[in-house]
Chain A
């Protein structure tokens, strides 16, 4: 059993000293990020505190319906956030929503079915949040890259369409490149885990007093879960969104 760490608000406030260092560097280098740093600090405090109380409520209730509602809320908010990042892709919301929902559902169902975690709020909420957060970034980055690649590769796509290729055939090489670029980053970071950086879960468990072997095992479980869910999210988002670049008559839509 891991001993829980109790931090006072004063201890949390003390870490603002490091936020102040970041703001000072920004001022010194005239990066003009002080306001953004302030907003990010305030938002993270409010959002995390609020979600902390929500999670406490859900843990206390331990009802599956509440867990599903919370995860569904995360999926919708994640899709809305990712859409802002994937501006170059027409109507990106639905592909993103489906991608995040699929990644979240598949992952949670699998970890419960395989007996990795019990179907209890205490396990499903943090794992679901982590999966959806990472899936959101992966899907947004993949679509953002896809939008840029389609804009750059428009002559190649049209030349292929002109030979009687379908939209799917014409975009395939570009789709492959966009997916590879996202997944390679994740695979690389998985390869270097433990050598170059200690991932957050492991650090958290070690700080909380867990045995290193337990911390490593849980981290490995989460790493592999993430690898799968990110691949599902990136692939689903790209496969559903690419059609939005084309008309039903296999014509490349004009940007804008």
Chain B
């Protein structure tokens, strides 16, 4: 089992975000679907310990996530946030950032290619790109770490239809080319069917349903 979450509760500013939640994530691609405020992004943040639950346990490949070195865990389980948050500097500097932190070489060209960008982007200033392009740089930055699990938080929420289709094609391509498991948060049921093998439906901090996606 990739992730097992048991009896998870999480409060934020006194409000229940997740309540007695138990769910499992398997290898392959899983979509986490639900309306805004359902707790999807919070759930994703628990998987690579950007946050810890108030109660319950999160296990990754059978071990409690708190037993892993947290920095190593985050490199293995990389998260791409909903909104682009790039560092000041070039695309290449951004893409190689995570690798440089752990003293590893980074193949910027390969990471950009996986994210659907060509090498001509590498010397451009990251914060001057369009939102869609920045989102891809965020994806490339995470892929450069060669993660075993990729967590994507609403990867197309800020994009127009054309850019969304392009990112979806990139993600479908990634599924074929990478051995990494993908967990994608989306509020769009149709997108979940297009991208995932399995769908977990979350509402008001509780699991409503889970099973194979309609498109699987």
Contact = CB atoms under 8 A, between A and B. Distances in A.
A158 B102 contact: no
Nearest to A252: B50
* Most B CB within 10 A of own CB, among A155, A163, A166: A163
B145 to A, nearest CB: 7
A256 B13 CA distance: 8
A155 B82 CA distance: 9
A164 B145 contact: yes
Interface in A34-69: none
Interface in B84-127: 85-88, 97-98, 101-102
A160 interface: yes
B74 A164 contact: yes
B181 interface: no
A165 B101 contact: yes
A160 B101 CA distance: 10
A161 B74 contact: yes
B170 to A, nearest CB: 19
A252 B78 CA distance: 17
Contacts, number: 64
Interface residues of B, number: 30
Interface in A209-256: 247, 249-252, 254, 256
Contacts of B75: 163-164
A118 interface: no
Contacts of B74: 161-164
Contact of B49 (A160, A166, A169, A251): A251
A155 B83 CA distance: 8
A164 B49 contact: no
B159 to A, nearest CB: 17
Interface of B: 12-13, 48-52, 66, 70-72, 74-75, 78-81, 83, 85-88, 97-98, 101-102, 138, 141-142, 145
Given A163-B97, A164-B74, A254 B87 contact: no
Contacts of A162: 48, 50, 74, 78-81, 142
A247 B66 CA distance: 13
Contacts of A249: 49, 52, 66, 70
* Most B CB within 10 A of own CB, among A159, A169, A251, A256: A159
Given A165-B101, A173-B87, A155 B142 contact: no
Given A162-B48, A173-B88, 7 more contacts: A155-B81, A163-B74, A163-B78, A163-B101, A164-B71, A165-B98, A249-B49
15 contacts: A155-B83, A155-B85, A156-B85, A158-B85, A159-B86, A160-B97, A162-B142, A163-B75, A163-B97, A164-B74, A164-B75, A173-B87, A249-B70, A250-B71, A256-B13
Contacts of A165: 71, 98, 101
B155 to A, nearest CB: 13
Interface of A: 155-156, 158-166, 169, 173, 247, 249-252, 254, 256
Nearest to B75: A164
A163 B79 CA distance: 7
Contacts of B85: 155-156, 158-160
Contacts of A256: 13
A163 B70 contact: no
A248 to B, nearest CB: 9
* Most B CB within 10 A of own CB, among A159, A162, A252, A256: A162
A256 to B, nearest CB: 7
Nearest to A249: B70
Contacts of A254: 12-13
Contacts of A250: 70-71
A164 B75 CA distance: 5
A163 B141 contact: yes
A152 to B, nearest CB: 11
A165 to B, nearest CB: 6
A163 B49 CA distance: 12
Nearest to B89: A173
* Most B CB within 10 A of own CB, among A158, A173, A249, A251: A249
Contact of B87 (A158, A160, A161): A160
A251 B88 contact: no
B32 to A, nearest CB: 17
B72 A164 contact: yes
